[in-house]
Chains A and B, each alone.
Chain A
Amino acid sequence: MWKLLRDWPLLRQLREGGDGTGPEAMSRRTRELQPKTAGAQVARSVCPYCAVGCGQLVYHRDGALLAIEGDPESPISRGRLCPKGAASHQLLTHAGRLTTVKYRGPFATSWQEIPLEEAMDRIADRVWESRERTFEEERGGRRLMQCRGIAHLGGATLDNEENYLLKKLFTGGLGITRVSNQARI
């Protein structure tokens, strides 16, 4: 009760003066205000949208993302971001983000959720079956070594290491030649 009274800005006004627009009118929360990133950990990252390659600082605490801002030290972006780059925190945290595996069986009219490992097993099965059916070792006595029935699309949004593994497994390992992505000229 006494504390409440002591924090009553009116009394502070009487004690210290002020017209009720200055520090005397500030609440405890305001007086203790800090940026939400205070004391957070920072990871150095790169914007995932276009190819300018703006440097990003990813602020996080206890495994949760707090904010993503430009990296002032980047010689390319100098800490600045465009609207998309500025929205990349929302990109990773928005409610519509997919976090479970969805499966749709033949002729099904709705999704069902299945465990990740089960999905991986089934995908491996499908790849294997299709490869078995459509792999051609030779044609006309000439080496082909090609899996005709499987194709891949995508890569321009992925990491180099990811594209490397994709190309290595699909083309180098499985003989898939139908591999493509957004990149052209």
Chain B
Amino acid sequence: MPGLGTSLGRGGATTAQQDLRNADAILIMGSSMAENHPVGFQWVIEARERGATVIHVDPRFNRTSAMADLWVPLRAGSDIVFLGGMVRYALEEGKVFRDYVARYTNAPMLLGDELRDTEELDGLFSGWEEGQRRYDPASWGYRAAPASDAGGGSPGDEPDKGGHGKERGGEAEDASNPERDETMQHPRCVYQVLRRHFARYTPEMVERACGVPRESFLRVAKAFCAASGPERTGAICYAVGWTQHSVGVQIIRTAAILQLLLGNVGRPGGGILALRGHASIQGSTDIPTLYDILPGYLSMPLFERESETLAGYVGKHRTESGWWHNFDKYIVSLLKAWYGDGATAGNELGFGFLPRVDGDHSHQGYWLEMAAGKLEGLFVIGQNPAVGGPNARLERKALARLKWLVVRDLVEVETASFWYDSPEVERGELRPAEIATEVFLLPAAGHAEKDGTFTNTQRLLQWHEKAVEPPGDCTSETWFVYHLGRRLKERVRRSRRRRDQPLLALTWDYPLHGPRREPVVEEIAKEIHGRRLPGEGESDGSELVGGFTDLAADGSTACGCWIYSGLFAGGVNRPRQRQSRDALGHGWGFAWPADRRILYNRCSARPDGKPWSERKKLVWWDATEKKWTGLDVPDFALGKPPDYRPPPGAKGDDAIAGDQPFTMHPDGVGWIWVASGLKDGPLPTHYEPLESPVANPLYGQQVNPAAHAKEGPDNAYARALDPRYPHVLTTYRLTEHHTAGGMSRTLSHLAELQPELFAEISPELAAELGIRNGEFVTITNPRGMVEARALVTPRMKTLVVDGRPVHQVGLPYHWGQRGLVRGDVVNDLVALSQEPNVRIMEAKALVCAVAPGRRPRGKDLLRQLQTEQARADELRPDQE
């Protein structure tokens, strides 16, 4: 989420699905919303029926394109060129919403003279250290602003660190007002730097790099840029079609820049809607089961000097100005929630208990450790990497190196059965009798069999009630984790060892109920919401806080996740509320933060506090009441007047002026330019996918320099322009199935609707290869080989990229060896690669070869694969 986080301040969708209804134009790109979020798509249809222009830019003409007014196919992996072209169009054709841009973004800020742009360095920014293959962002800062604050080591360049924690990204900025040029004419101001940076993203370049006819591109640019200004707004919807690229974060950045230039953030019918694919994927980042952050986007302490002590750690992450000035309150309250009385002034409130991150501990990072036999045990809970993981073949084989594996799911997924029915067993690569891994497969409870909250794609927490007891031995994760923790705490009850102190101190006294002694989920929710703890002398009776503004840094409050604080305000279970009062759904569930449904909604009013227009009003300043009011909970200090100017030395939110809507940022404005917080540059730049059939038409730099290819024998790549893999391969989901299929391939009512793996192929390619519709084809690349039914369809277009025809092949990835319907694992073709900021794999733009007929079986396939990989190795350029 750093794409949105660094640009706007928070790593979440800025708007609500219902609000799409108010848009005048909707750009859906990197998503097939109609296919993967059909019920949310009703709001797009409603907007369309009310006259909005719906635009879909996608390699395939899919169910979303079928409902759109405009559809443009582009080559998978060329998104930044297309969006960059739109940015350039907005800048050069005078489509920019100047009043908004000049006041609400950092476009007027001046940048340092030492900065060098990709224009000058053929695709690299200044600060690139070829040796360490990373950027030093020192030269990216505003003029007259220190490169970083007291914390030292500027963030964004720490190899060990992931990107989720840097939602604020602003460590490198403080409140010392940088030089500005309100006219945005100064050659070194962000606005002018931006113009020069995107100067070469012309319609002609879009045509050349994306394979989009320039007229079609211009139609799209014109239509979307028209949805701008006081009377009109446009929204952008994206999903993993943008994120699963080696430049994923920067694609989203480009969209954020476009929306800021058009004045579409924080206004009704505007914003950027990140469409997420799992019931609580937003929640699992807010309360992260991730390695690089703690609940509420607080960075995990790294194995480094600053993070030795709480003071050093806070000093590093706390900003002088902006909301993150409260950083200390949130980390301390979290420590109190976890370690309770064990967190004392004496032990830095238990800060020393927290483990330090000393490497890439992301999914892909530790899976490679696993493959190397360095891991002993693994818990897999509600995920199916044997089918859904990048380079699934490598991931399956790695499982055999574990001492033990615990899988919890509704059905026996391929991850649990890898040791006896994986393709590797069929190929003789793995033999059950030689696999030492102990496997525990535990049945899980379903959503209607337990209480709890999901956080949906628009940051909305909704409670689901337990209807029935789970069958047999099925249990909730709450039950599993609680009772596992109880057993482990037993063992350290009397331990004095340092390593056991965190476990000993861990607060684990949840009230239990029911036949299985299940923890009361509402109690956990209250812990997340936060309590004011009884002070010295006070008899206990700890009470719930009102919200995150009540949290303190002195250990007098405990809060499990500050951004969720408020979900139990007034002792009421807000996520459980079911009385929707208005279009934005207030009264139904709870949206973080503070039940704001549209973020940065201060932007919906002019700098003077009045709505930009009657048609697009949302939140405004009530001069008589002296407070912000409107149709949503203002995302702004309620009593702060529009003309407020921070006094010298003001800190935190007080340092944010009354016309600065992006309060999470130290400078209170939206960031077109991200001075630090990103590992691959302050502005988006087009790089080719790690595997591409064309040379980067814009720069000599072929791929994202900061990306990690994790190249190896089992993770081989086709080098650029490899003639043996001339086609672009992209993977996706279908409406009828869910991700790796554990929740759909097993259901007859879904399985029958899409019973077999198919490859969508253009008639031209089919003709070239003599493939007939419905026949089997084999898709190959250096990592794998899958067979699928050919679905020959004119919905797949052959594009002309850089003067040559490029065929694109589409593969949905839902099938595996188990379930009612089975098929090859498409993710065997996906490389285990990492985007630099969030370490996501590149699954949407790959290369492949296609041949008629079925793939070889068993050992023959293995032999074939090895030759493919040997070929790839010997052909790999020495630059690797």
Answer yes or no: A and B touching, Cβ < 8 Å. yes
Question: A55 CA to B380 CA in the complex, in Å?
Answer: 28
CB distance from B706 to the nearest CB of A (A): 15
A158 touches B280 (CB 8 A): yes
B453 touches A157 (CB 8 A): no
The answer to whether B303 has its CB under 8 Å from any CB of chain A is yes
The answer to whether B714 has its CB under 8 Å from any CB of chain A is no
Chain A hits for B243, CB < 8 A: 184-185
Of B279, B375, B468, the residue contacting A51 (CB under 8 A) is B279
Given known pairs A73-B580, A153-B378, the reply for A51 and B275 (CB within 8 Å) is yes
Given known pairs A43-B465, A123-B440, A149-B377, the reply for A180 and B39 (CB within 8 Å) is no
Nearest A residue (CB) for B2:
A185
A51 touches B456 (CB 8 A): yes
Question: A121 CA to B434 CA in the complex, in Å?
Answer: 25
CB distance from B561 to the nearest CB of A (A): 7
The answer to whether B106 has its CB under 8 Å from any CB of chain A is no
Question: A77 CA to B37 CA in the complex, in Å?
Answer: 11
Given known pairs A60-B468, A185-B243, A185-B252, the reply for A179 and B448 (CB within 8 Å) is no
A97 touches B355 (CB 8 A): no
The A-contacting residues of B in range 507-551, CB under 8 angstroms, are: 519, 521, 524-525, 527-528
The answer to whether B194 has its CB under 8 Å from any CB of chain A is no
B419 touches A104 (CB 8 A): yes
The answer to whether B289 has its CB under 8 Å from any CB of chain A is yes
Question: A130 CA to B403 CA in the complex, in Å?
Answer: 9
Question: A80 CA to B41 CA in the complex, in Å?
Answer: 11
The answer to whether A156 has its CB under 8 Å from any CB of chain B is yes
Given known pairs A158-B382, A181-B290, the reply for A94 and B746 (CB within 8 Å) is yes
Nearest A residue (CB) for B351:
A143
A151 touches B284 (CB 8 A): no
B285 touches A183 (CB 8 A): yes
Of B352, B404, B464, B506, the residue contacting A169 (CB under 8 A) is B506
B289 touches A152 (CB 8 A): yes
Q: Which of A19-27, A30-38, A81-89 lies at the binding interface?
A: A81-89
Chain B hits for A162, CB < 8 A: 452, 476-478, 481
Nearest B residue (CB) for A159:
B452
B524 touches A173 (CB 8 A): no
The answer to whether B824 has its CB under 8 Å from any CB of chain A is no
CB distance from A60 to the nearest CB of B (A): 5
The answer to whether B144 has its CB under 8 Å from any CB of chain A is no
Interface string of B719-741 (1 = CB under 8 A from A): 00000000000000001111100
A185 touches B524 (CB 8 A): no
Of A110, A171, A176, A185, the residue contacting B248 (CB under 8 A) is A185
The answer to whether B345 has its CB under 8 Å from any CB of chain A is no
Interface string of A133-163 (1 = CB under 8 A from B): 1110101001111111111111111111111
Nearest B residue (CB) for A114:
B440
CB distance from B391 to the nearest CB of A (A): 15
Question: A74 CA to B403 CA in the complex, in Å?
Answer: 46
The A-contacting residues of B in range 32-46, CB under 8 angstroms, are: 36-40, 42
Chain A hits for B439, CB < 8 A: 102-104
CB distance from A138 to the nearest CB of B (A): 9
Chain B hits for A137, CB < 8 A: 498-499
Nearest B residue (CB) for A81:
B39
The answer to whether B159 has its CB under 8 Å from any CB of chain A is no
B411 touches A43 (CB 8 A): no
Chain B hits for A108, CB < 8 A: 432
A50 touches B363 (CB 8 A): no
Chain A hits for B452, CB < 8 A: 159-162
CB distance from B346 to the nearest CB of A (A): 16
Of A55, A71, A151, A168, the residue contacting B506 (CB under 8 A) is A168
Q: Which of B257-265, B748-756, B775-783 lies at the binding interface?
A: B748-756
B487 touches A120 (CB 8 A): yes
Overall SS of chain B's interface: mixed
The answer to whether B50 has its CB under 8 Å from any CB of chain A is no
The A-contacting residues of B in range 325-367, CB under 8 angstroms, are: 338-339, 352-358, 361-363, 365-366
Of B39, B354, B412, the residue contacting A85 (CB under 8 A) is B39
Nearest B residue (CB) for A99:
B472
Interface string of B228-244 (1 = CB under 8 A from A): 00000000000010111
CB distance from B617 to the nearest CB of A (A): 20
Of B440, B477, B753, the residue contacting A165 (CB under 8 A) is B477
Of A92, A101, A109, A176, the residue contacting B420 (CB under 8 A) is A109
Interface string of A115-135 (1 = CB under 8 A from B): 010011111101110100111
A159 touches B488 (CB 8 A): no
Chain B hits for A167, CB < 8 A: 287-289, 294-295
Most buried by B among A88, A124, A167: A167
A163 touches B284 (CB 8 A): yes
Chain B hits for A164, CB < 8 A: 287, 295, 524, 527-528, 560-561
A169 touches B481 (CB 8 A): yes
B561 touches A155 (CB 8 A): no
Given known pairs A82-B735, A149-B376, A150-B378, the reply for A102 and B412 (CB within 8 Å) is yes
A173 touches B460 (CB 8 A): no
Most buried by B among A43, A76, A84, A124: A76
B370 touches A160 (CB 8 A): no
Given known pairs A75-B18, A177-B355, the reply for A154 and B39 (CB within 8 Å) is no
CB distance from A49 to the nearest CB of B (A): 5
Of B290, B356, B362, B560, the residue contacting A143 (CB under 8 A) is B356
Chain B hits for A88, CB < 8 A: 447-448
Chain A hits for B583, CB < 8 A: 75
Nearest B residue (CB) for A122:
B440
Chain B hits for A51, CB < 8 A: 37, 275-282, 454, 456-457
Chain B hits for A48, CB < 8 A: 279, 446-447, 454, 743
Nearest A residue (CB) for B503:
A173
The answer to whether B773 has its CB under 8 Å from any CB of chain A is no
Question: A116 CA to B439 CA in the complex, in Å?
Answer: 14
B284 touches A107 (CB 8 A): no
CB distance from A184 to the nearest CB of B (A): 4
Question: A30 CA to B785 CA in the complex, in Å?
Answer: 56
Question: A175 CA to B506 CA in the complex, in Å?
Answer: 12
CB distance from B401 to the nearest CB of A (A): 12
Nearest A residue (CB) for B442:
A101
B524 touches A161 (CB 8 A): yes
Nearest B residue (CB) for A53:
B456
Given known pairs A43-B448, A157-B278, A159-B450, the reply for A165 and B502 (CB within 8 Å) is no
Chain B hits for A151, CB < 8 A: 361, 366, 370, 375, 377-379
Question: A86 CA to B38 CA in the complex, in Å?
Answer: 12
Chain B hits for A77, CB < 8 A: 39, 42
Question: A153 CA to B284 CA in the complex, in Å?
Answer: 11
Nearest A residue (CB) for B739:
A182
The answer to whether A46 has its CB under 8 Å from any CB of chain B is yes
Give A contacts to B, CB under 8 Å.
41, 43-56, 58, 60, 63-65, 68, 71, 73-78, 80-88, 90-92, 94, 96-111, 116, 119-124, 126-128, 130, 133-135, 137, 139, 142-185
18 other A-B residue contacts (CB within 8 Å) besides A146-B357, A151-B370: A45-B465, A45-B467, A46-B456, A46-B464, A48-B454, A50-B457, A51-B280, A53-B462, A73-B578, A88-B447, A99-B473, A120-B480, A144-B355, A152-B378, A157-B279, A160-B528, A163-B280, A169-B506
- 9 cross-chain pairs, A with B, having the tightest CB-CB distances, nearest first: A53-B456, A159-B452, A99-B472, A155-B289, A75-B585, A156-B278, A43-B467, A51-B276, A154-B381
Q: List 24 A-B contacts (CB under 8 A).
A: A46-B454, A50-B738, A52-B457, A74-B580, A84-B738, A86-B749, A91-B743, A107-B436, A108-B432, A123-B406, A126-B377, A147-B355, A149-B376, A151-B370, A151-B377, A155-B289, A158-B280, A164-B524, A164-B561, A171-B294, A175-B499, A181-B284, A183-B282, A185-B2
